[in-house]
Amino acid sequence: ACQISSTTFIQKSAMPLQDDDDDDNDKIDTPSKTPTSTIPFLLADIGEGISEVELLQWYVNPGDTVSQFDRICEVQSDKATVEITSRFDGVVERLCGEVGEMMFVGKPLLYIAVDNAANVGGVGGGAQQHAAAESVDETTQQATLHNVVDESDRLHIPTDESVHSNSDSHYGGRKGSESEGEESGIMAKVLSSPAVRKMSKDYSIDLGAVMGTGPGGRVLKADILNIINARDSKAKPTGSTTVPQVSSALSQIEEDTVIPIRGYSRLMVKSMTTSLQVPHMVYADEINVNALTVVRDSLRPLAKEMGLNKLTYLPFFIKASSLAITKYPVLNSTIDVEEMTLTYHQSHNVGVAVDTERGLTVPVVKRCQDKSVLEIAEELGRLYALAFEGNLSEADISDCTFTLSNIGAIGGTYMSPVVLPPQVAVGAMGKIQRLPRFVSDTSDEVESVRIMPISWGGDHRAVDGATMARFSNLWKAYVENPSSMMFAMR
């Protein structure tokens, strides 16, 4: 456990002996350095009832000099990744956790030596910190009483513009060789997440030479993995038989291993445990997506001209859900069992389940009722890029009122999707398959049809089977005849 210490440094220069008859003006003044105090830097309240976070990485080391708003560390809660910045100007004395450890709100992240004079009346109550230098006991008391809520403005969600906003303090500010500083300076000019920068450094990949495929030329983890895979393929001898490689993580497990549940997986444990209290009902159907395929393919060139590189089925499914919700708003409600109330939400905030290396996360496309199919597709692209890099903000994953899972992209047909309380409905699209179907009930003629299974899960306390069936039929009508959506749009 970290101990709080307070020190005051006063340095006096050597003074020569003076004769009794020397003038006062000949006396040498005693210079002194400004007193400093070691104070705790506490983890602020991130909100949403979060009391602990996982420490992903430090941006500072003991002995580093930091300024206000310099990045201190990156942490991940159950819902989002957050960068924490400094509240003070000072020198880092001690770190209070290792990467991978859980840090608790209101507890010290690190201890920092600050200038008493500079911090009196400064950000976050410097006068209190100055007084804390008088004694260890008093400092401890001040740390307990310290208002960590005031630190909320120092929390920072990584974005394209801000990933490198304090790169000088992280890279150039540390002591090291000139080559390391030059390399870090180049990396800081490339839009990428800390995880991507670390991976590129581990594999000796020059980020400046990588063509980023993310928004604004952002280098994604997939870009780095493609380079690594290309290297591996070149290293394989030609003419040899390639044996499928088993995952190194699995092949190296020779005994039982305990792995802590962290990040997004912790949220899934909590939400799935809560979902056990929901009496589920499931409704399934199959959708003919022949017409939708034609419409999507015809719109792809136009979407590319408008800056959208990839147009999938999902934006159409989301828009169809929003239009169907307009007629059946109970599907877009949340339930409060204790108060025995249903809240019908004005905004159609559709969450989309995304499978990432960090686990399952559900970013939210907000106000789908006001967005076009193209706007929904653009927002999905932004959310996907952030999700795969672990940089989703709290706003990106909150206020979900209805959820869709495109599990069919991986495989499977019919599902039993689980409702995420307090929501009351969820949909899961299965794999699209080319199957034979009769042209009509009265004809023996068979045609080739692209069929997609759809499975709906509902909270039976709020949604009955008849309502779910009618909602599904309307959604099906929009998807099977995409042109009909134009009549319902405003």
What is the rounded average pLDDT of the residues 361-390?
A: 93
Active site residue 460: yes
> What are 168-199's pLDDT values in tens digits?
333 333 333 334 444 444 444 577 776 677 67
Average pLDDT, rounded, for the chain: 76
CA-to-CA distance for 419 and 359, rounded, in angstroms? 18
- Answer whether residue 103 shows pLDDT above 80: yes
Least confident of 129-133, 317-321, 336-340, 416-420: 129-133
| CA separation for the pair 38, 91 (Å, rounded) | 9
In angstroms, the CA 391 to CA 83 distance is 10
Burial class (CB in 10 A: 0-12, 13-18, 19+), 175: exposed
Beta-carbon count within 10 A of 242 CB: 8
pLDDT value of position 176: 39
Q: Each residue of 413-459: pLDDT tens digit? A: 999 999 989 999 999 999 999 999 999 989 999 999 999 999 999 99
Spell 263-299 as b/e; 16+ CB within 10 A means b.
Answer: bbbbbbeebeeebeebeebbbbebbbbeebeebbeeb
**301 vs 152 pLDDT, higher one:** 301
User: Which pLDDT belongs to residue 240?
Assistant: 37
| Pick from 16, 8, 65, 68: nearest CA to 38 | 8
